[in-house]
Amino acid sequence: MIGFILRHPMAVFLSVLLHIILVTLLAIEWAEPDTSMKVSSIKSENPKPSTTSEIRQIEPLKTFAVDASLVQEKLEKIRVQEEARKLESQLLEAKTQKERERLKELQKRQKIEQEKAEKARKQAVQQRAETEAERRKTELERQKTEEAKRLAQLERSKADAEKAKAKEAKKAAEKAEKERLKSIEKSKQAEKTRLLEEKKKLALEKENVAKAKENEALKQAQEKAKAAAALQSQLDEEASAQRKAQKRKQLVSLRESYISAISAKVRDNWRTPARISSKAVCDLQIIQTPKGNVTSVKILNCNEFATKQFKVAAEKAVYRSEPLPKPPVKELFEREITFKFKP
């Protein structure tokens, strides 16, 4: 009710104003007889001349002539307007209620869709977090095999059901056809010709339906094969990426071991009579042949503790280390190698 008043303040104001006018008119009409009675009663009881004060007390009791038909017409008009406003209010309330229900249903569907999406997302995250690459490959292969078995079983069950259904349909069709042919035999030749044409048309429709089913089955089989090929391709790519990553990791580890071996051999061949600081450090750049022979040595990036004697001794230690250690695999051979050297 309060909502209706807030939505239609002018209508409520006019309604209240009309009610006030109606009550005033009725009050005037009802007050008219009472005034007459009071005046006559006063006259009968007091035959003596009235004083000025008594006349002043009677003066407010004036009567007004009210047209009953006019009042009735106004009342009828007010009633019609009130009923119209009431009907409008009911229609508006019904429309509002319907809109609330629609919004409530929409919110409910949105909430369900959001819950489904959130649930699917959580399941996907959990599955990716719990499985490893190799295990995922094995699991996918197993799922693929089981899915193929399930699909094959489903296809067999579907085929059996289709066969049984077709058999029953065929029996029913044959029975109906026999009954129809029995009744047709009693009719004229023209009716027989018409029924024969209908039979041909029905056969053609069945053939079209069968072709459509066959095309749909072929399309589904192609889609399944395509999905399986895509899955296998994804698995192969993941396996290849894993192998490459493992190989890179192994090569990095082997290269570090290879560089450490060269550095260790150079350190073993370190010889110098001079007093060298233990804090001296230089980068040694070595150019070598595939057999480990040193073609050149450069001293780079030395710190403040590396003296000239240290640099000369480091260069000689490299040449004394010929041939340098060979890499564990051919891929790790580098003609130019740089490493930090300290005594």
Does 13 share its domain with 67? yes
What is the average pLDDT across 21-43?
58
Residue 146 located in a structural domain? yes
Does 166 share its domain with 61? no
Residue 177 located in a structural domain? yes
pLDDT of 2 strictly over 60: yes
Whether the Cβ atoms of residue 282 and residue 299 lie closer than 8 Å to each other: yes
Residue 151 located in a structural domain? yes
Q: Which residues pair with 298 in a beta bridge?
A: 285
Largest CA distance in the chain: 162
Q: What is the DSSP string of 121-166?
A: HHHHHHHHHH--HHHHHHHHHHHHHHHHHHHHHHHHHHHHHHHHHH
Residue 125 located in a structural domain? no
Distance of CA 89 to the CA centre of its chain: 40
pLDDT of 286 strictly over 60: yes
Among 66, 85, 112, the domain boundary falls at: 112
Nearest to 283 by CA among 262, 314, 307, 254: 314
Does 332 share its domain with 213? yes
Give how far Cα 36 sits from Cα of 28, 42, 152, 225, Å. Answer: 13, 10, 107, 107
Please tell me the total count of domains within the chain: 3
Residue 119 located in a structural domain? no
* 294 φ, ψ (degrees, to nearest 5): -90, 125
Residue 126 located in a structural domain? no
Give how far Cα 336 sits from Cα of 91, 287, 297, Å. Answer: 91, 5, 10
Residue 29 located in a structural domain? yes
Does 172 share its domain with 312? no
Does 17 share its domain with 135? no
Q: How far apart are CA 19 and CA 300, in angstroms?
A: 108
Does 206 share its domain with 336? yes
What is the average pLDDT across 118-138?
86
Strands of 336-341's sheet, edge to edge?
Answer: 294-300, 282-288, 336-341
Does 217 share its domain with 339? yes
CATH code, domain with 239? 3.30.1150.10
Does 247 share its domain with 170? no
Does 15 share its domain with 34? yes
Triad 202, 203, 209: Cα angle to 5°: 90
Nearest to 320 by CA among 242, 284, 252, 268: 268
Q: What would the pLDDT profile of 222-261 be if each residue is shown by its tens digit? A: 888 888 787 777 777 777 777 777 777 878 888 888 888 9
Q: What would the pLDDT profile of 145-186 be if each residue is shown by its tens digit? A: 899 899 989 889 888 888 888 888 888 888 888 888 888 888
Residue 286 located in a structural domain? yes
Question: What is the per-residue pLDDT for 299?
Answer: 93
Q: Is the dihedral of CA 177, 179, 185, 187 positive or negative?
A: negative
Question: What is the per-residue pLDDT for 5?
Answer: 72
Residue % of the chain over a pLDDT of 90: 17
Q: Pick 311 or 29 by higher pLDDT.
A: 311
Does 273 share its domain with 340? yes
The b-or-e profile of 232-271 (16+ CB within 10 A means b, else e) is eeebeeeeeeeeeeeeeeebeeebeebbeebbebbeeebe
* Residue ranges making up the domain that contains 145: 131-186
Coil vs helix vs strand at 287: strand
Among 122, 157, 186, the domain boundary falls at: 186
Whether the pTM exceeds 0.75: the reply is: no
Does 320 share its domain with 211? yes
Among 145, 160, 186, the domain boundary falls at: 186
Does 215 share its domain with 162? no
